[in-house]
């Protein structure tokens, strides 16, 4: 279980997260929903240790993550798909996957499993990542994170700028991961993008979580969504 309690994060002197608290249950898909600049991406970066919190705690199955060096966080089994994918675009597809495999010394069976989830990548292993289409790059970003063999996967706007068919493919992948027991924290701006896959939705505004509701409840009663974000 991942438990975030009262963290404060800053960029310089600007406070981005204010007493941010959240808990993700094992195997669930938890979506962070909020406007641009609400603090969703910073929350994911804080979990990864890429932005340090000045207060509060982030605990994964009893381990305090804020006391670890940033490079030790992914070794605890947290995979990260950053916004804009941030592939190593000059490296090949296989080299990008190798970076993921190295993180926790994952074996060849992990690579096989990942390639079975994204078969198109198997045909492109020698291709430079930067020369792939946007959808293929998103698949590679997810595959690279899955090569860690994560217990928790953090996805930052994975459907941004993708064609509907590709969005559906990504959604299906997230649901496949849930079936394999992976906890997913998914950041999105659009409510329609999260309701079909989410178990729960956390609304983020001005660096705080303003409420957490079951996705099924939100789908059944749209007025609840209006109450939180007015969309």
Residue placing its CB nearer to another protein in the complex, 70 or 214 = 70
Within its chain, how far is the Cα of 228 from the centroid?
A: 22
99 is an interface residue for another protein by CB under 8 A: yes
Choosing from 29, 65, 66, 100, the residue that interacts with another protein (CB under 8 A) is 100
**What are residue 118's phi and psi, to 5 degrees?**
-130, 75
Stretch that binds another protein, among 14-22, 42-50, 209-217, 223-231 (CB under 8 A): 42-50
Long-range Cβ pairs for the range 115-120 (8 Å, 24+):
115/143, 117/143, 117/146, 117/173, 117/176, 118/142, 118/143, 118/173
Question: Whole-number minimum distance, CB 108 to another protein, in Å?
Answer: 15
Contact status: 148 vs another protein (CB under 8 A): yes
Question: Which of 104, 122, 128, 171 is close enough to bind another protein by CB under 8 A?
Answer: 104
Q: Pairing relation of β-strands 78-81 and 2-11?
A: unpaired
Read out DSSP for 162-174?
A: --HHHHHHHHHHH
Q: Is 134 helix (H, G, I), strand (E, B) or coil?
A: helix
Could you say which of 6, 19, 37, 50 contacts another protein (CB under 8 A)? 50
The site for another protein (CB under 8 A) is made up of 48-50, 69-75, 80, 82, 86, 88-91, 95, 98-100, 102-104, 144, 148
């Amino acid at each position: 279980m991942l438990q975030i309690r009262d963290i404060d994060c800053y960029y310089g002197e600007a406070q981005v997260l204010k007493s941010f608290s959240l808990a993700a249950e094992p195997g669930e898909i938890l979506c962070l929903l909020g406007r641009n600049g609400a603090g969703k991406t910073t929350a994911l970066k804080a979990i990864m240790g890429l932005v340090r919190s000045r207060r509060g705690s982030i605990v994964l199955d009893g381990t305090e993550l804020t006391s670890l060096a940033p490079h030790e966080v992914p070794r605890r089994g947290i995979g990260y798909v950053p916004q804009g994918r941030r592939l190593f675009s000059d490296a090949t597809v296989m080299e990008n996957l190798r970076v993921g495999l190295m993180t926790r010394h994952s074996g060849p069976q992990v690579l096989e499993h990942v390639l079975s989830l994204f078969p198109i990548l198997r045909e492109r292993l020698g291709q430079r990542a930067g020369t792939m289409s946007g959808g293929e790059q998103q698949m590679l970003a997810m595959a690279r994170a899955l090569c860690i063999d994560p217990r928790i996967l953090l996805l930052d706007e994975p459907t941004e700028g993708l064609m509907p068919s590709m969005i559906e493919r990504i959604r299906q992948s997230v649901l496949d991961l849930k079936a394999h027991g992976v906890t997913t924290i998914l950041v999105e701006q659009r409510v329609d993008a999260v309701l079909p896959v989410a178990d729960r939705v956390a609304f983020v505004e001005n660096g705080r979580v303003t409420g957490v509701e079951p996705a099924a409840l939100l789908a059944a009663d749209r007025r609840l969504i209006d109450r939180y974000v007015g969309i």
